[in-house]
């Protein structure tokens, strides 16, 4: 049912795009918009991971360049029974993360430098488990295509607004008062409708990814703690790339936008407090107790009360600097 619902929502986004093409150029504009939407979906299907990662200037890392982070993702992928995704880091002070790719065999996860520095390793495990859940459910393809079409709808609305200022309009009888009304409706309503569809797609997926992420990492409270912290940071630290392309906000674990203008009216994500409450209920059902941890060699152990299971340095690594917190992240 989730796949059917998603297909219907994506069809609605495409219909909005095609309808706007009709308002701009009549039957010809509608045909061009339809062909463009098909081409965009095809291109996004094959290149969604590269497109988004390039947009955020992410760099790929491996076991040599980021061993803690890379090995954590590898162990979580093993627990999720997924192929090892490509692992990326994006330069952003705002703690956040996303996953992308058309299927589990061609997927990537990306964490911001802010996330790796501000979160404990347990919290990072919860976040990356959530992103792997999106990959397992094929959400990454759906949300990336939705972001691409939503961005295109916004672009067309801006084009129509520019054209209306200079007397442009539908060449097939779209003039007069009805043409003006139709153009204004497209400029105002179409981006709003696209935003609502994106919101429906993302919100319907986040709760499922939270639940599965809690199962993958073995401790839903790790993810709950991370969500609360990321939400707090996101309101104070801007993500300039996301602000420039707000249609991609639905890809992130927490809405990266700070809520200026129209972004304050609607959110592509469920209420964070409700997500945390659901994870707390899941933790209660799972019985609580000691949470599993993941050593760099893949062995499973148990959490302690001293800053989490990863607060101790790896064998052969340099000791932590004096005054550093055990929850300062792998690069703290």
pLDDT tens figures, 270-288: 889 999 999 999 999 998 6
Catalytic residue among 75, 122, 123, 131: 131
Task: Give me the mean pLDDT over the 186-202 stretch.
Answer: 59
Q: Is residue 187 part of a domain?
A: yes
- Res. 124: pLDDT tops 70: yes
Q: Is residue 28 part of a domain?
A: yes
First to last CA, the chain: 43
The answer to whether the annotation marks 206 as part of a ligand binding site is yes
- Res. 60: pLDDT tops 90: yes
The whole-model pTM stands at 0.72
Angle subtended at Cα 196 by Cα 91 and Cα 190, rounded to the nearest 5 degrees: 105
Six-digit token string for 65:
């360049």
Query: What contacts 146, CB < 8 A, 6 or more positions away?
Result: 9, 10, 13, 197, 198, 201, 202, 250
pLDDT tens figures, 102-119: 889 999 999 999 999 999
When comparing pLDDT for 176 and 123, which is higher? 123
| Phi and psi, residue 51, nearest 5° | -65, -50
The number of beta carbons lying within 10 Å of the beta carbon of residue 62 is 11
- Res. 313: pLDDT tops 50: no
pLDDT tens figures, 23-42: 767 788 788 878 887 787 77
Q: What is the 3-state secondary structure (H, E, C) of the chain?
A: CHHHHHHHHHHHHHHHHHHHHHHHHHHHHHHHHHHHHHHHHHHHHHHHHHHHHHHCCCEEECCCCCHHHHHHHHHHHHHHCCCCCEEEEECCCCCCEEEEECCHHHEEEEEEHHHHHHCCHHHHHHHHHHHHHHHHCCHHHHHHHHHHHHHHHHHHHHHHHHHHHCCCCCCCCCCHHHHHHHHHHHHHHHHHHHHHHHHHHHHHHHHHHHHHHHHHHCCHHHHHHHHHHHHHHHCCCCCHHHHHCHHHHHHECCCCCCCCHHHHCCCCCCCHHHHHHHHHHHHHHCCCCCCEEECCCCCEEECCCCCCCCCCCCCCCCCCCCCCCCCCCCCC
Band (pLDDT 50/70/90 cuts) for residue 187 is low
Domain that holds residue 177: 2-285
Q: Is residue 132 part of a domain?
A: yes
pLDDT tens figures, 224-263: 999 999 999 988 999 988 887 777 788 899 989 875 444 4
Q: Cα separation of 215 and 4, whole Å?
A: 25
pLDDT tens figures, 145-175: 776 666 666 666 666 666 555 555 554 444 4
Task: Give me the mean pLDDT over the 6-26 stretch.
Answer: 73
- Res. 292: pLDDT tops 50: no
Q: Is residue 262 part of a domain?
A: yes
pLDDT confidence of residue 79: 96
| Phi and psi, residue 314, nearest 5° | -70, 155
Decide if 131 is catalytic.
yes
- Res. 19: pLDDT tops 80: no
Q: Is residue 300 part of a domain?
A: no
Band (pLDDT 50/70/90 cuts) for residue 58 is very high
pLDDT confidence of residue 117: 94
Q: Cα separation of 42 and 185, whole Å?
A: 29
Q: Is residue 332 part of a domain?
A: no
pLDDT confidence of residue 147: 67
Mean pLDDT of the chain: 75
pLDDT confidence of residue 259: 58
| Portion of the chain with pLDDT greater than 70, in percent | 62
Q: Is residue 302 part of a domain?
A: no
pLDDT confidence of residue 202: 62
The answer to whether the annotation marks 269 as part of a ligand binding site is no
pLDDT confidence of residue 140: 83
Query: What are 98's strand-pairing partners?
Result: 110, 252
User: Per the structure, how many domains does the chain have?
Assistant: 1
Q: Is residue 29 part of a domain?
A: yes
The answer to whether the annotation marks 130 as part of a ligand binding site is yes
pLDDT confidence of residue 71: 96
């Amino acid at each position: 049912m989730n796949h059917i619902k998603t297909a219907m929502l994506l069809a609605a986004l495409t219909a909005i795009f095609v309808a706007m093409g009709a308002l701009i150029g009549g039957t010809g504009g509608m045909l061009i918009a339809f062909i463009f939407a098909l081409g965009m979906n095809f291109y996004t299907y094959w290149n969604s991971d590269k497109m988004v990662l390039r947009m955020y200037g992410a760099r790929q890392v491996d076991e040599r360049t980021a061993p803690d982070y890379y090995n954590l993702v590898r162990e979580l992928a093993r627990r999720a029974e997924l192929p090892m995704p490509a692992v990326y880091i994006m330069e952003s002070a705002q703690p956040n993360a996303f996953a992308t790719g058309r299927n589990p065999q061609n997927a990537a996860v990306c964490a911001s430098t802010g996330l790796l520095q501000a979160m404990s390793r347990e919290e990072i495990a919860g976040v990356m488990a959530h992103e792997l859940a999106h990959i397992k459910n094929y959400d990454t393809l759906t949300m990336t295509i939705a972001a691409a079409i939503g961005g295109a709808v916004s672009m067309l609305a801006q084009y129509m607004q520019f054209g209306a200022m200079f007397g442009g309009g539908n060449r097939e009888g779209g003039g007069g008062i009805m043409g003006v009304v139709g153009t204004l409706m497209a400029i105002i309503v179409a981006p709003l409708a696209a935003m609502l569809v994106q919101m429906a797609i993302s919100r319907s997926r986040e709760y499922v990814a939270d639940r599965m992420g809690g199962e993958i990492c073995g401790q839903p409270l790790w993810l709950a703690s991370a969500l609360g912290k990321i939400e707090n940071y996101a309101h104070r630290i801007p993500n300039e790339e996301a602000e420039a392309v707000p249609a991609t906000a639905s890809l992130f674990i927490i809405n990266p936008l700070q809520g200026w203008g129209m972004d304050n009216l609607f959110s592509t994500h469920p209420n964070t407090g409700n997500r945390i409450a659901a994870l707390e209920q899941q933790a209660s059902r799972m019985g609580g107790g000691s949470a599993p941890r993941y050593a760099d060699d893949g062995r499973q152990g148990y959490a302690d009360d001293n800053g989490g299971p990863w607060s101790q340095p790896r064998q052969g690594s340099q000791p932590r600097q004096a005054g550093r917190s055990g929850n300062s992240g792998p690069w703290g």
